Amino acid sequence: MVADARGTNDAGMKTRPRPRPKKGPPYDRTPSPGPAKPPSRGRTSARKSEPALPAREPIGLPDLASLVPVGVPAGVPEMAAQMGIEFDRGDTDQLGRYLAMLLAANEVLNLTSVTDPVEAWRRHVLDSLTLLQALADLPDGSRVIDVGSGGGLPGIPLAVCMPGLAFTLLEATGKKAAFLRATVGALGLGNVTVAEARAETAGHDRGVRGPSGGRTGGHREVYDAVVARAVGRLATLAELTVPLVKVGGRVLLIKGERSDEELHEAARALHLLKAVHAGTIGTPSGRIVVLAKQSAAPRDYPRRDGEPKRAPLGVARDERAAGKRIKRA
């Protein structure tokens, strides 16, 4: 059908006029600037009116190197001996200095709920050193990473008593990482480095590939052992820790009396991560769950930031809800 100039076709039906082609080349879609708009008298955008954010304030830590060490309370050496721990010369002084730094910084940062020096020796130092037995057979130069180190537990007490091993303290919170760096420097611990990163991010960090094809740096599958203390459910911890350890390496998790229940819950997660439960070591303060890595972890793990905690790997939704109800109770 052919439309005439009046907008009707030969059947007498109205038609829409054909759109006129735009001036200029078809790819030129830049709008003309037009006249300048007068300033608006209405409410301006909040984003435009916000002042620039101030620079982050310093943490305000005390002079850590000048603090008086926390003395060894009566009964602690006997408790250590019962645990099979023998301190070398200078260890107790270093550990006492560390506790002084931890308690002093706790007034500025939320590092620990334990503020009594006697309790700090028992619940922080001795509890951390329960891992000595599980790490004793590692050769000098072996690498150990403390995931979610917080105030340096269990990594710093272990590094003081095991100078032949190389420790990495992994901490995501900037202020806590700054405290760890200051503490390591004040104690002169040459076998300790601090990594400020989330475990989910570190678990995918393979380092930089060199000209020869090998990689340098990174965290994924480079450690001989991984340690962690009181940082979440076992199904969550497994996903955050297993990708960091070498094939054939071990993961040592300080847990409480509910470790058997958590192991049952984490069975599917361990299967997906190519790890197995290698045993549980009883200690005076709790239990150490030992995981062994059988083969390389799938590259999908760990998942995105926050996902391992929000939805523990291999745990059904109803089981997660039950876990939350038990915690609240």
Q: Which domains does the chain have, with CATH numbers?
A: 131-207+216-328 (3.40.50.150)
Backbone φ and ψ for 195, nearest 5 degrees, come out as: -115, 120
Give pLDDT tens digits for 135-149: 999 999 999 999 999
For residue 18, what are the contacts with CB-CB under 8 A and spacing of at least 6?
none
- What pLDDT is attached to residue 216? 86
Give pLDDT tens digits for 75-130: 899 999 999 999 998 999 999 999 999 999 998 898 998 989 889 999 999 999 99
Closest C-alpha to 175, from 223, 224, 239, 110: 110
Q: For the chain, what percent of residues have pLDDT higher than 70? A: 78
CB atoms within 10 A of CB 152: 31
Token pair for residue 207?
A: 């380092």
For residue 170, what are the contacts with CB-CB under 8 A and spacing of at least 6?
145, 146, 147, 148, 149, 195, 197, 199, 202, 219
- What pLDDT is attached to residue 55? 40
Q: The whole model's pTM is what?
A: 0.79
Residue 278 has pLDDT above 90, yes or no: yes
Residue 324 has pLDDT above 70, yes or no: no
- What pLDDT is attached to residue 5? 46
Which of 43-57, 218-232, 262-276, 310-324 is least confident?
43-57
Residue 73 has pLDDT above 70, yes or no: yes
Q: How far is C-alpha 8 from the geometric centre of its chain's CA atoms?
A: 73
Residue 3's pLDDT band (cuts 50, 70, 90): very low
Q: Is 21 exposed, middle or buried (0-12, 13-18, 19+ CB in 10 A)?
A: exposed
- Measured CA to CA, the distance from residue 191 to residue 158 in angstroms comes to 11
Backbone φ and ψ for 73, nearest 5 degrees, come out as: -70, 155
Token pair for residue 227?
A: 């340690």
